[in-house]
Amino acid sequence: MNSYSVHIFDLDGVIYLGNTAIPHAIEYLNHLSIKGDKVYFFTNNSSKTRLSVAEKISKLGYTTNEEQIISSSSIANEYFATKNYKSAFLFGELGARNALFDNGIQIINDSIPLETILDNDSIKCDIVLAGIFRTATYSHVAAASLLLQRGAKFIVTNTDPSIPIERGLFPGAGAMIKAIETASGIVPEIIFGKPSPIGILSLISNLNLPETNFIMYGDRMDTDILCGYNANISTALMLTGAMTREDANSYPFKPTYIYNNFLECMQ
């Protein structure tokens, strides 16, 4: 691990599970900082702001700030700044809301009741932005589905099927997006989160360092490891979350390293 100077970490299943730190994770982060390495966190969770993610990590014992947080919402924010969308249906939470708000995109479901959207074919919007949405109802899924059929572009923060918590797996953004996709028969056109390499590629370009300096740590092959692979950087599969060594073998791409825990990374 000494050949890397920029370390990018997934959060759920790597740094913490729910509100509990993964054993040795905080110790490893502090070890890297003392060494003078750069540390970043890349989360597909669009329900929280970067500041609240930074505060959560800091509370667990590693002092961090929002500039170290890459989220599907922060990537969305950068993307919307380059587009000219005027109106959106928001199927999501605070992080996704901020990405729209910061770019002056009107959220139609803030001012128009869901029943009106469902009943009136003339109500349209430029995009449907979907992510994790823990208070979603049947009517939200129906409205998103109808607006896509009325011509809105389908954009999603990420497609993670599940979120690991202490007691098992909770539905992730992907599980909820599938409801809209299944109902409408329309698939997302743009995905911001991992495994899309957009976030890592922009970090490489911002830091202006060789890509051989970068490593991505994650607990999922299909998001974290594929993201690093797509961005052409080294990867470490951490067996502290969603996947086992056997799971890793079933993918056509391989992580550069597989570790049981961060203690092994320090040896």
45 closest CA partner among 193, 240, 223? 193
Q: Is the bond into 195 cis (omega within 30 degrees of 0)?
A: yes
State phi, psi for 155 to the nearest 5 degrees: -120, 135
Q: C-beta of 13: minimal distance to Mg ion in Å?
A: 4
Between 219 and 222, whose beta carbon lies closer to Mg ion? Answer: 219
Rounded to the nearest angstrom, the gap between the alpha carbon of residue 138 and the centroid of all alpha carbons in its chain is 24
Among 6, 8, 9, 13, interactor with Mg ion by CB under 5 A: 13
Which residue, 31 or 161, has its beta carbon nearer to Mg ion? 161
Smallest gap, in angstroms, from Cβ of residue 194 to Mg ion?
A: 9
Residue 96, H or E segment: helix 94-101
Q: Output the six-digit token pair for 70.
A: 């890459």
Identify which of residues 12 and 126 has a Cβ nearer to Mg ion in the complex. 12
Q: Under the criterion CB under 5 A, does residue 255 sit at the interface with Mg ion?
A: no
Q: Which amino acid would we find at residue 163? A: I
The residues pairing with 20 across neighbouring beta strands, listed in sequence order, are 17
Q: Write the CA distances from 78 to 84, 103, 110, integer angstroms.
A: 12, 9, 23
Which part of the chain contacts Mg ion (CB under 5 A), choosing from 5-13, 17-25, 149-157, 173-181?
5-13
Should residue 10 be labelled a site residue for Mg ion when binding is judged by CB under 5 A? Answer: yes
Indicate whether 126 belongs to the interface with Mg ion (CB under 5 A): no
Interaction of residue 160 with Mg ion, rule CB under 5 A? no
**Per-residue binding letters, 212-231, with Mg ion (x by CB under 5 A):** -------x------------
Report the interface residues with Mg ion, using CB under 5 A: 10, 12-13, 219
